[in-house]
Structure 1
Amino acid sequence: MPSIVEPKLISGNANMPLAKAIARRMTMYRGMSVGLVDARVERFNDQEIFVEVYENVRGEDMFIIQPTSNPANDNLMELLIMSDALRRSSAARITAVIPYFGYARQDRRSKARTPITAKLVANMIAEAGIERVLTMDLHAAQIQGFFDIPVDNLYASPIFALDILEQFKGNTSDIMVVSPDVGGVARARELAKRINAPLSIVDKRREKPGEIAEMTVIGEVAGKTCIIVDDICDTAGTLCKAAEVLMEHGATEVHSYITHGVLSGPAVERITKSVMKSLVITDSIQATGAVSGATNIRIVPTAPMFAQAILNIWNGTSVSSLFETETLGPIYEGIL
């Protein structure tokens, strides 16, 4: 049964435009005004974070919208402190909406005497009083098991599939979906299945960290429009190199669909100068001025999906229904 209280949204400083967009979409879906709870999240002179909530939240169903992107430590602490403030203000339930889950790449011990930081972050989130997590495209699916609270992991592939079918309308027969490494095959296969396209793999081998020694294309990409699919693009070195290798193997053009555009360091410059015709990312991480100004980078919105997922959690209905094109299609009608 639906709760008698209304869902209430609060946001930190990590991605305020996305939080406001989610509030607008919820307003449209519900036919009544949904705004962000009035609060201040600021820093003292020594960079300590301070949170003050100006509205009464006693007994309310609270949703904190806060990706833990760069600066990851600051944004993570904002999330934890906001949760503590809400818990001490007697909120009935606190859900963390984390579009981009930072530290997800530290999900296992890669060598001796290294941490599993994703597990540590999961413990901190639960201890802060958060009772549920809503995120998108975790780097590794097993991170859900690091939490002792419910985790709803949304997927960008249904949004990407809708966008591809719209952008390449009438020309989908030449599309080849490409995984940039062996580890991402499951993600690429999922998208390929949605758009009924074949799958190829770029196998990369490193001699040492940060250097790509060799790339091999598994599959016939000659004469194909290649679409590279991955969850994170950081410095874009691997992505741009993969695009070059695909063009060398006869691809007619290369596009990339990446969920989380971290795009640090020389990433934007590399992408702008690369052979890639376009890079499509979501707004899970707030775009910098350089990203917004890049001619071959396009951003697709996640607010419609997150708004519906928040309402489904509040209503106690299925979140996994948003994995289906039949459900997500009407939500994105006229947007992509």
Structure 2
Amino acid sequence: MNKEELLQLMHPMKLIGLSGNPALNEKIATILKKPLIETAVQHFSDGEIQVNIGESVRGCDVFVIQSIQDPVNENFMELEIVLDALHRASAHRINVVVPYLAYSRSDTKTRSREPITAKLVANLLQITGLDHLIALDLHASQIQGFYNVPVDHLHAMPLLAQYFLDNGIATKEEDDIVVVSPDHSGAKLARNFGQFFDAPIAIVDQRRERYDTDVHDMIGDVKDKKCIIVDDLIDTGSRISSSTKSVLAAGAKKVYVAATHALLSQNALETLNELPIEQIVVTDTIKHSHYPDRMVRISVDLLLARGINYVYNDRSMHLLSESDLK
């Protein structure tokens, strides 16, 4: 009997998929060849949530998959209640997998009497109890330090970059590719993304007090270039809109967008559909019923499934970063 077989015998892996993104949950379970535990989630008329886990998890290593997306507070509370249920059911180890972790943008205090909600979320999850967190493209990497349990921070940007390479949109041989950050804080992300194409970066000089301005100054040369605007998420689409208008005003010939999380709140669909963008490439961390016309969705199912498998078998995530996820 090898180590993996012994582990399955002593502490079997079990998966729970919650309401945030059922389609992604099913994809991950299919790759791992593990059925999702039947979990009954009932919402009462007053908003209260009741959860019933349909089978024994005593002594098991349980992975709870929940994308904390709209409705954010409802999905977060659902996760909290399941964690409490797992503790009371004597699970051996409780692992939380969050394709999208809400409140990550509130990671620092910038003015008086302002909360750091990302830290509050970390406190609440740890009070309820979890042994391990697997997250994907957190808004700020330092959020890992808010947790006193192991955090594996996975990245989808290599998958997005590979799409541009596979489809001939960008290659290392081209010299007309520029990766654009929509503001100064995203420069590091743009630089990392640009390394896949050996491309320079440019920055939209966009400041908070001027978010509503259509066109901003550019730092860097985008004239007659093919621009890829890269960000960790797309919310209302306003930042992508002003960035697109800025690079076009500076002489860019084509504009593409790459982002991990497509929140698409408020009038994002209409805003993005009106822009002269060639393609918007995102992942499937968040589910919606409708998407913008030129949006391409890349699945992170294999990335998350392998992350779960590596955690369960105590393998180094460094090996995952070097593995082929195509």
| TM-score category of the 2 structures, normalised to the smaller one | over 0.9
Name the structure 2 match of 1:152: 152
Name the structure 2 match of 1:228: 229
Gaps of 5+ in 2: none
Q: What does 1:45-194 correspond to in 2, within 5 Å?
A: 45-168=45-168, 173=174, 174-194=176-196
| Cα distance, 1:147–1:63 mapped onto 2, change above 3 Å | same
Alignment partner of 1:17 out of 23, 32, 42: 23
C-alpha distance in 2 between matches for 1:237 and 1:169: 24
Q: CA deviation at 1:206?
A: 3.6
How many pairs are equivalent? 318
C-alpha distance in 1 between matches for 2:315 and 2:133: 16
C-alpha distance in 2 between matches for 1:56 and 1:206: 50
Percent identity reads: 38
Q: CA deviation at 1:244?
A: 1.3
C-alpha distance in 1 between matches for 2:313 and 2:87: 21
- 2:258 partner SS: strand
C-alpha distance in 1 between matches for 2:79 and 2:170: 44
Name the structure 1 match of 2:41: 41
Q: Write out per-residue CA displacement over residues 158-217 of structure 1, whole angstroms, 9 at most, x where no aligned residue.
A: 111211111226755122111111101111111111222111111112436x53486111
Q: CA deviation at 1:275?
A: 1.4
C-alpha distance in 2 between matches for 1:110 and 1:323: 33
The answer to whether the Cα contact below 8 Å between 1:232 and 1:258 also exists between their aligned partners in 2 is yes
Structure 1, 93-102 or 153-162: larger mean CA deviation: 153-162
- 2:269 partner SS: helix
Name the structure 2 match of 1:31: none
Name the structure 2 match of 1:216: 217
1:281 corresponds to 2:282: yes
C-alpha distance in 2 between matches for 1:94 and 1:171: 42
C-alpha distance in 2 between matches for 1:314 and 1:171: 36
Q: Write out per-residue CA displacement over residues 39-78 of structure 1, whole angstroms, 9 at most, x where no aligned residue.
A: 1112112110110011111101100000111111001001
| Cα distance, 1:271–1:214 mapped onto 2, change above 3 Å | closer
The answer to whether the Cα contact below 8 Å between 1:179 and 1:228 also exists between their aligned partners in 2 is yes
Q: CA deviation at 1:110?
A: 1.7
The answer to whether the Cα contact below 8 Å between 2:179 and 2:194 also exists between their aligned partners in 1 is yes
Name the structure 2 match of 1:306: 304
Query: Which amino acid in the other structure matches residue 97 of structure 1?
Result: V
Alignment partner of 1:320 out of 318, 321, 326: 318
Gaps of 5+ in 1: 28-33
C-alpha distance in 2 between matches for 1:232 and 1:117: 18
| Cα distance, 1:233–1:247 mapped onto 2, change above 3 Å | same
Q: CA deviation at 1:295?
A: 1.9
Q: Write out per-residue CA displacement over residues 15-38 of structure 1, whole angstroms, 9 at most, x where no aligned residue.
A: 0000001011112xxxxxx11011
Root mean square deviation of aligned Cα = 1.5
The answer to whether the Cα contact below 8 Å between 1:204 and 1:213 also exists between their aligned partners in 2 is no
